[in-house]
Structures are given as C-alpha cells and as structure tokens.
Amino acid sequence: MESKKRELFVVAGAIIKDGKVFSAQRGNSGKTAFKWEFPGGKINPGETPEQALARELQEELSINVKVHDLVYQVVDEYEDVILHIDTYRCSLISGTPTLSEHINMAWSNKEELDKLEFSPADDPVLAKIKSLYL
C-alpha cells in the first residue's frame, strides 16, 4: 500500500522596490540547497496566508511588509511531500533585510534575476513577476 505524501502549505513574498525584487539564497540543506527563492514559510493554524507571510518575513529578515495581491500559486511535488506555494507581491514598510536563515540576498532587476538559479517550480512565478512588476 502506498503511503500518502505529506502536504505543506507555504507562502512566499516577492518584495518589490524601485523596479527590483528581493530574493534570498538557501543554504546547504534540503532538496533546493543553494537555490534562490522568494522568502517566506509555513502557514500556522488560524493564520491567513497574508498574516503568515508578514510574520515569516519579520522572523526571517527582521522587516515589516505590506502584503498585496497573490502573484502565483505553484504545486511542487517531491518524493515525500507536496508543497503548495502561494507567492504574494509585497512592499517594504520598515527595516532592512537581515539574513538569519539564508546565505545570500539580492535586489534584482529583470536581467539580474535571470542570472540567479531558482528552482524550476519558480519559473512561472518569475515570468509573472518580470512581466507585471519589473
């Protein structure tokens, strides 16, 4: 009998500022080690996706953001888990991103974004961000 994969619901923030988008590079752990991503995290019970994203960005980067519209929803499947990733457009309200869980960060325009290695699951998210916001 096949075991059911665990499903995780996470949120990510595409923080847009001055024609650039913020991304962070993962460390040497997990299936997406060293890949770039839009930071975020898990939705806790009782939280809306928007509340979860604001909390995660405060915890991970010490910044306060305003969460705007949903940019894209991705389902990314691995051997043991199915990830549901909702990416939202955000704007920075206060603070300067300070890394606590990532090893690098960048504010990138369209061309610079193309040079960063994201997970293949992020391709449609990147395309949408580039066409709508950058």
Per-residue pLDDT of 73-96, as tens digits, reads: 999 998 899 999 999 999 999 999
Q: What is the C-alpha to C-alpha distance for residues 86 and 81, in angstroms, rounded to an integer?
A: 16
Q: What is the C-alpha to C-alpha distance for residues 47 and 50, in angstroms, rounded to an integer?
A: 8
Domain count, the chain: 1
Q: Which pLDDT does position 103 carry in this prediction?
A: 97
Per-residue pLDDT of 21-35, as tens digits, reads: 999 999 998 878 999
Per-residue pLDDT of 99-111, as tens digits, reads: 999 999 999 999 9
- The CATH number linked to 62 is 3.90.79.10
For residues 90 and 17, the answer to whether their CB atoms sit within 8 Å is: no
Domain coverage including residue 13: 6-93+100-132
